[in-house]
Amino acid sequence: MPTDELRQDAERFLMNTYARAPISIVRGRGSRVYDLEGREYLDFVAGIAVNTLGYSHPDLVAAIQKQAQHLLHASNLYYTEPQVRLAQALVDHSFAKKVFFCNSGAEANEAAIKLARRYAHEKYGPDRYEIITMLQSFHGRTMATLTATGQEKVQKGFEPLLAGFTYVPFNDLPAVEKALTSHTAAVMLEPVQGEGGVHVADRAYLKGLRELCQARDVLLMFDEIQTGMGRTGTLFAYEQLGVQPDVMTLAKGLGGGVPIGACLATDEAAAVFTPSTHASTFGGNPLACAAALAVLRVLLEGRILEQSRRMGDYLVKGLLDCKDRLPIIKDVRGLGLLLGMELAIDGRPVVTDCLARGLLINCTMERVLRFVPPLIITQREIDRLLDTLSQVLSKRV
Ligand SMILES: *Cc1c(COP(=O)(O)O)cnc(C)c1O
């Protein structure tokens, strides 16, 4: 079926929530995907920071096949081994002591928000429920998480929003200090704002937040849905930023392409979730957990993290080099393989031009090109991105 026909059917049958590029992806291998017409694309989107091991990774495919033969789903009314082993592995490699599984980023943040409210409620009573989040943040599209998201465009038309959220500018410690009151239950933020234009939290800021929260028994919650699972060069971004949260959420890269989310917490915070306080039918499903376990093993046992750090450095250098030559590039920033390039112009036509040249990139906040390739990306593939990007941007000076 040609792509045009598929597009027409998509318009007929799908709700119009996405402005899709006019290609249909049918398969992938390594860091490349192929469309319905057989054209190859080098992929610096990776399903929006999801496909960390690229496409068709043999270990991931084998784990999914093997689990599918045994058991797809059983319900959390019973124990299933992949779920327990995945939780154990996440606990072994993070600050956290307990894990709750769900199916997406928004759900992971919903769990974190509920956990924070219940923690504060149990310890300090019903007047302590407020959650401080950051402007330009992104936490999801459910009612609670779009309320947590500090962007009007995400909230517009969905009012009344959930009560109990306050917003402060990112990387502004005095603003948090001012916003903290006896009603504050938690401070929630992304260590690197992804959707909000790739902004990295300062170490001193995070350290300050940690101290403020500690002093008042306010939960510090990191949304590592985009930054987690090796995206920034360490398994979790907080490891290299020098601060441990009380609660952390994961999704995107966790299942390497299979939908799964998780909310991780310290023992003390996690203790407020007891049977029937929170639940999810599919959460921690054996298929998704087997996939996530395979991803985690590859990340921990292989040299991928080390290699991805080198590739991140190499890509930053290349992007900075472009910036020196092309004045329409205003800034290059990010961490590991979560990188952004802010332009003085609309980035969306640049994305379209790159697509026509066989390169997938993404644009966020209108002017920020975002690069989130699979963590297995090679130097030659980065060279090709830099080459294509230079050509496309040079035409627009
Ligand atoms: C993508 C993202 C979410 C939402 O995840 P979904 O799986 O789309 O619900 C939340 N927070 C951050 C930081 C994200 O990048």
pLDDT along the chain (397 residues), means of 10: 89 96 97 97 98 98 98 98 98 98 98 98 98 98 98 98 98 98 98 98 98 98 98 98 98 98 98 97 98 98 95 98 97 98 98 98 98 98 98 92
285 CA to centre of ligand 1 in angstroms: 19
- Atom of ligand 1 lying closest to residue 190 CA: 13
CA dist., res. 212 & res. 219, Å (int): 10
223 lines ligand 1 (CB under 6 A): yes
Q: pTM higher than 0.85, yes or no?
A: yes
324 CA to centre of ligand 1 in angstroms: 33
Q: Residue 302's pLDDT is what?
A: 82
Q: Which helix (H) or strand (E) holds 334?
A: strand 329-335
- Atom of ligand 1 lying closest to residue 194 CA: 15
User: Which tokens hold the place of 72?
Assistant: 């797809």
Which residue among 45, 134, 137, 138 has the greatest number of ligand 1 atoms within 8 angstroms of its CB, and so is best to mutate?
138
Q: Residue 104's pLDDT is what?
A: 98
Q: Residue 2's pLDDT is what?
A: 77
225 lines ligand 1 (CB under 6 A): yes
Q: Residue 269's pLDDT is what?
A: 98
Q: Residue 41's pLDDT is what?
A: 98
Helices then strands, counting H and E runs in the chain, come out as: 15, 17
CA dist., res. 294 & res. 290, Å (int): 6
- Atom of ligand 1 lying closest to residue 48 CA: 1
350 lines ligand 1 (CB under 6 A): no
226 lines ligand 1 (CB under 6 A): yes
Spatial CA neighbour of 290 closest among 342, 254, 340, 326: 254
- Atom of ligand 1 lying closest to residue 223 CA: 13
Q: Residue 396's pLDDT is what?
A: 86
